[in-house]
Amino acid sequence: MHHFNLNPKLYLVTDRCWLGERSLAVSVEAAIQGGVTLVQLREKEVASGAFLNLAQDVKAVTDRYGIPLIINDRVDIALAADAAGVHLGLEDLPVQAARKLLGPHKIIGASAATLEEAAAFQKQGADYLGVGAVFPTATKLGNETVNLDDLRKIKSAITIPVVAIGGIKAENAASVMRTGVDGVAVVSAIMNQSDIRVAAMRLMSILKEA
């Protein structure tokens, strides 16, 4: 369907709030050097112009490494930055509306928390699913709605790639991968680490062994 080689094995979702003095582009580069296979730029509190600038900065890095860049929510930013695609949450544009704007060759990911949602998004033309939250996260406590058994059931019923998300870190990543999912998406397990490259390397080696 699309030109990009979608490998969501270690999927980095950005969150600048963990970065302190480090720039986002530099942090993303370190994460890619550590093995991240897909990057999502997620920015909730930024104006459109600044979001586009940030997307362009990060895309200069992801392009250099041949890693697809996914933009959270904003189809216009994805188009303006010529990113690889978008990730849509339940409150974002419907998958079909985004597909109409993006055309057949861009990646559209969608967030699902149940098998019903997952099946619906697959039917609507999503290219991959982010499923969770599997564990409580640093930013959202008590939001875990998908356990490992649910994850296994969703994965076995769905043909597009399934990425687990929510509180995944080195300590629990192997148990998540053993459900059969295609990858894990992480925020703080990479972004909140003092050595981002090493954190990504460590996670990737766990994913490969699992």
CA distances from 123 to 24, 34, 154, 180 (A): 34, 34, 14, 21
Q: Which two tokens stand for residue 70?
A: 């996914």
Radius of gyration of the chain (CA): 16
Binding flag, residue 22, its own copies (CB under 8 A): no
Q: Which two tokens stand for residue 68?
A: 């697809």
Q: Which is nearer to its own copies, 94 or 136 (CB)?
A: 94
Q: Which is nearer to its own copies, 101 or 174 (CB)?
A: 101
Interacting residues with its own copies between 100 and 139 (CB under 8 A): 100-101
Q: How many chain residues bind its own copies (CB under 8 A)?
A: 21
The residue range among 1-9, 15-23, 45-53, 152-160 that interacts with its own copies, by the rule CB under 8 A, is 45-53
Report which residue type is found at 106: K
Look up 140 and say whether it is catalytic.
yes
Per the residue annotation, which of 22, 44, 100, 140 is the catalytic one? 140
Per the residue annotation, which of 16, 99, 111, 155 is the catalytic one? 111
Distance CA 185, CA 3 (A): 22
Q: Which is nearer to its own copies, 67 or 95 (CB)?
A: 95
Q: In this chain, which of 50, 60, 157, 210 binds its own copies, going by CB under 8 A?
A: 50
The mark string for 62-81 relative to its own copies (x by CB under 8 A, - otherwise) is -----------xxxxx-xx-
Q: Which is nearer to its own copies, 92 or 117 (CB)?
A: 92
* CA dihedral sign, ordered 49, 54, 57, 63: negative
Helix ranges restricted to H, the chain = 24-33, 48-65, 75-80, 95-102, 115-123, 148-157, 173-177, 188-191, 196-209
Q: Which residues of 109-128 are buried (b: 16+ CB within 10 A; e: fewer)?
A: bbbbbebebbeebbebebbb
Look up 59 and say whether it is catalytic.
no
Look up 22 and say whether it is catalytic.
no
Q: Which residues are marked as active site? A: 42, 111, 140
Q: Could you list the residues that contact its own copies (CB under 8 A)?
A: 47-50, 52, 73-77, 79-80, 90-94, 97-98, 100-101
